[in-house]
Structure 1
């Protein structure tokens, strides 16, 4: 049999899966940049566990059900969304393609789902609101300067952002060792990676046209007057991260933000309950895509318990490991209001900007639609644990033994 290979060309219409987009992005981007997007922390146990958590659940369809009319529409933070999808916050996107933050926001608007802008974006939040529109959420890292936080929150409110997302799991940066191996000192690429950059002329032309790596556009108030480069911005953000952030800070943030507030980085029932008690309108179960604490539990694994604790009406999003429409199905069946997707859309935007990001969303939505039909569930809101067989696939028996012994 001919060896199977994923598509890695340049024709976007031939990308039939997220893995195709990933391969296309791998070909287009220099090695160091693809590693930044694709990799995880330390031994990447959490990165793999995110995928394994979905694979351990099998589906049990119902047959002879009328599925001629299917819908993925959900209510999210009191407003309709065309699908239970949200583009997750990701930083430094301008390295992937021109004005990638705007491209991602536009793709989300066309798909009628929310987009979350990272505080480490390369486009000003006001420009994203003006140039893209749609449903916009703003992500916030907790920094020491409360005046800066207040200013950023005020800017987001004036620009029309409907929700604020506090990332709670970056007290310090995770140990992304494979990422760091691409540099010989500081942010200086190794000789091997410099040569690899020259082997990617399309990407290099993009950088030259932009005048070099784009800066973090929304943290200028934090940066010292002599900051001139994105490396200066990264050092500024790193120096200002506040590991003392606690529940009192969340309560203060709630007092200055009048709209919806979500806390991202929750992985336990007690923390989910505390977040709601301190004023959050919902929680995002997340281990930061496997990029922070290695060996952490996956969002999907903690989802049923959090749903049971918070009740049927709570807003609970999950991220980490979503690559297929059936993953959306499984998350919904276990109690998720919606899922967040980051890497999938980054692969797309790296390949073809807005069109690539929209292609990623379309692939997930098409797969979800097909899975609904084959499951016999025309309305995605009707999904619950009854569609899950509860049996562990044969191939995951070793992982099951490890879990029973407490190994993560």
Structure 2
């Protein structure tokens, strides 16, 4: 805990994660597709938007709480779905879910999680959502039914991994599960003893949601690659809509025409996302897409991810019309550094920075974060 007390921002949490993790694992967490332009672009797209604060406003009471698609939250954040989290910390999905519950925001469990739907439901409190990769329709049906029976409240369907991105760090490192050992990876583990001891104690993480599923070897390989059914289209959404009584959110949307289709197909919300820069390099940043996309039918139901490193980033996304942000790498740095406590610390940093930003902008409630408070640098 004393180590965490000396971490004041997400950059510091990233340094702590990099120190604890072997290079092959950190590169998996950090890496993007091809030349990784989008890793930088997702971050700096926020910096191009400049604040225009209001003054002489009553700020005796500032309230960062809000609602996300009807769910009350302590600030506009959701812990994003990420796979293989037990590579970073034992039972990483459970640790993230607990941290999210403590922070007062939802947690999204990935299809590619190491802890199963059942384990996370049994061992955590707080609101849980489930993220679905449609790899095989029979598997998708089973997973959706399981999530429904376990009271996961919302369903996110990822749309942007029909084919896996070319992640050159992973190719260079020979990353894969099960881990392939050579002198380089063994030395990498030995020189990171805290991580190595956890890995040896708990073993290679398994895909928890598939333990009791009848699945072809090809489908298992596809899940490790995050590759979807290449034939899955808008019309196939009807199958899932019939199975799931709650809200369905499409993740990976960036085009106005796709946003416009959502109402026709019974979709309740979207996450503007380029998959953290891990799929197609030089894709538009989600924040830039947010600034261009308009939708009366989905007003208040557009979320955004990618590049969240400061509370001010959340404020800018909110001002540009996002209901909330999804927090991925920022909270994973905390998980990798110190498990549940590190993840909670990362979320708390963002929450405190967000509230501080509200005060500096002259906003006493989240609804006061509007487009009049930001201006793109190109317009100045």
Tell me the TM-score range normalised by the shorter chain: over 0.9
In structure 2, the CA distance between the partners of 1:296 and 1:10, relative to structure 1 (3 Å rule), is: farther
* Deviation per residue, 1:228-274 (Å, 9 max, x gap): xxx99546654973111110111221111111110000001111111
What corresponds to 2:25 in structure 1?
A: 33
**Matched ranges for 1:11-30 at <5 A:** 11-30=3-22
> How far does residue 389 in structure 1 lie from its aligned partner after superposition?
3.3
**Matched ranges for 1:127-166 at <5 A:** 127-144=119-136, 146-166=137-157
Q: Quick check: 1:180 aligned with 2:176?
A: no
Q: TM-score, normalised by structure 2?
A: 0.94
Verify the 8 A CA contact 1:139 1:165 in the aligned structure 2: yes
Distance 2:183 2:239 in 1: 47
* Deviation per residue, 1:28-73 (Å, 9 max, x gap): 0000000000111100111111112101101111122121211111
**Matched ranges for 1:73-152 at <5 A:** 73-144=65-136, 146-152=137-143
Distance 1:322 1:260 in 2: 24
Distance 2:78 2:32 in 1: 21
What corresponds to 1:266 in structure 2?
A: 253
In structure 2, the CA distance between the partners of 1:52 and 1:151, relative to structure 1 (3 Å rule), is: same
The one of 167, 176, 189 aligned to 2:158: 167
> How far does residue 332 in structure 1 lie from its aligned partner after superposition?
0.4
> How far does residue 188 in structure 1 lie from its aligned partner after superposition?
2.5
* Deviation per residue, 1:81-100 (Å, 9 max, x gap): 11100000000001111111
| Partner-residue secondary structure (3-state), 2:32 | coil
Distance 1:125 1:139 in 2: 11
* Deviation per residue, 1:169-214 (Å, 9 max, x gap): 000111110121112999535532321111011111101110x211
In structure 2, the CA distance between the partners of 1:275 and 1:27, relative to structure 1 (3 Å rule), is: same
The one of 35, 42, 55 aligned to 1:43: 35
Verify the 8 A CA contact 2:174 2:180 in the aligned structure 1: yes
> How far does residue 138 in structure 1 lie from its aligned partner after superposition?
0.3
Q: TM-score, normalised by structure 1?
A: 0.88
Distance 2:224 2:2 in 1: 35
Q: Quick check: 1:366 aligned with 2:352?
A: yes
Distance 2:152 2:89 in 1: 24
* Deviation per residue, 1:299-318 (Å, 9 max, x gap): 11111332x22357340100
Distance 1:240 1:55 in 2: 32
Count of aligned pairs between the two proteins: 378
Distance 1:66 1:79 in 2: 27
> How far does residue 341 in structure 1 lie from its aligned partner after superposition?
0.5
| Partner-residue secondary structure (3-state), 2:209 | coil
The one of 280, 297, 310 aligned to 2:296: 310
> How far does residue 393 in structure 1 lie from its aligned partner after superposition?
10
* Deviation per residue, 1:130-159 (Å, 9 max, x gap): 111211000000112x22211111110110
The one of 180, 191, 197 aligned to 1:199: 191
Distance 2:229 2:34 in 1: 23
Gaps of 5+ in 2: none
Distance 1:255 1:388 in 2: 41
| Partner-residue secondary structure (3-state), 1:277 | coil
RMSD: 2.2
